[in-house]
Amino acid sequence: MRVLLLSSCLFVGGLAHAANDLPGGGIDPQALSRHVRVLASDEFEGRAPATEGEERTVQYLIEQFRSYGLQPGGVDGSWVQPVPLVRAQLEGPAKASLSLKQGNRALANGVDVTLQSLQPRKRVQIKDAPLVFVGYGIDAPERQWNDYKDVDLHGKIAVVLINDADFEADAPGAFDGKAVTYYGRWTYKFEEAARRGAEGVLIVHETAPAAYGWATVKSSGTSPLFDIERGQAEAMAQHTPLRGWMQRELAEAIFADAGLDFDAEKRKAMRADFRPVALDNAKLSVDFALKREQVVTRNVVAKLPGGEHGDEAVIFSAHWDAFGIGQPDAKGDRIRRGAIDNATGVATVLELGRVFAAGPQPQRTLY
């Protein structure tokens, strides 16, 4: 242990010495902290797109980039790139319930489940849709993996595990170990179920494989959703009528009601020979209204022109948005500040911009 500690001290000392030789003194931890504190402050209101919080965020980023001597890299010589989006959010309360062998169970949005939709409709109404467990919800022919074997999901709710099959497996398998792949992302789960014609998708939340707790799911799941502008047919095909998450405790209760053990079925889902399991004992009903509107948000683009290969570009990026203002947390705070997700990333890009601007001209144009 003493050797490791000594190595660490020497390494850190070397970095500190090297930073003095870097342009602008290198990455400044105090500057990183300052940016995070500003962006996550009350004034920025959680940085939700198309809100006053966005306006303050955009202006702050422009001010910082300008002060570093960077050039605007947006549209028509500006600092911004307009991004037209569709914003969809629940209008009023959501009603949801499960019909089980043991009786009906009311579900609270944000507590037991999260309920959302990106389909272009005014209301989502689902009555007694049966549930089907589709494991990790992955179809990856190049990995000889298909969780959707011989299942018809039309009119049904897909129950899906987060991450992919290797995360909790005993040894690396088809997904090369614990590092999450594209197939482990929740975005993929929703997209694949939509391609299969599912009426809805509920991802089972577990903190370790998700890498975040239920509080994060609740924040995002009770906030507006955003989508690129699509035609009616494409939007209907791209999204299921219902999408959301459920607590693991709820999944355990559903499986137990069907005479199944959740953990045992999960272990089966870690194998390539897994087959979907009908949870016919459970039927989901939901009813909620949707409000959809077109909005325009903005990317902030700064540029450092390159030299010999200036027609080539290197892009450093981070998403500046977070979840805005929503339901109060346990302390009564309604602002979802997004300090880690993703003020830290924005602070890093700002510091990179400052350091590069203070140094020699790069060979390639930096954005």
Q: In which element (H, E) is residue 351 found?
A: helix 344-358
Q: How far does Cα 265 stand from its chain's mean position?
A: 26
Write the pLDDT tens digit of every residue in 90-141: 999 999 999 999 999 999 999 999 999 999 999 999 999 999 999 999 999 9
Rounded CA-CA distance 63/83 in Å is 20
pLDDT at 6: 29
Number of residues that this document lists for the chain = 367
Q: CATH number of 87-292: 3.50.30.30, 3.40.50.10790, 3.40.50.1980, 3.90.190.20?
A: 3.50.30.30
Helix (H, G, I), strand (E, B) or coil at 145: strand
Q: Is the dihedral of CA 224, 230, 231, 236 positive or negative?
A: negative
pLDDT at 19: 55
Rounded CA-CA distance 74/81 in Å is 5
Write the pLDDT tens digit of every residue in 196-252: 999 999 999 999 999 999 998 998 898 999 999 999 999 999 999 999 999 999 999
Question: In CATH, what class is 25-79+301-366?
Answer: alpha beta
What angle separates helix 52-67 from helix 344-358, to the nearest 10 degrees?
A: 20
Residue pair 299/81 in contact (Cβ under 8 Å)? The answer is yes
Of 96, 162, 113, the closest CA to residue 134 belongs to: 162
Of 271, 221, 274, 209, the closest CA to residue 246 belongs to: 221
- Domain borders along the chain are 25-79+301-366, 87-292
Is 87-292 in the same CATH topology as 25-79+301-366? no
CA angle centred on 148, ends 143 and 151, rounded to 5°:
155
Of 31, 98, 74, the closest CA to residue 247 belongs to: 98
Residues of the chain with pLDDT below 70 are 1-20
According to DSSP, the residues that pair with 91 across neighbouring strands are 289
Its pTM stands at 0.85
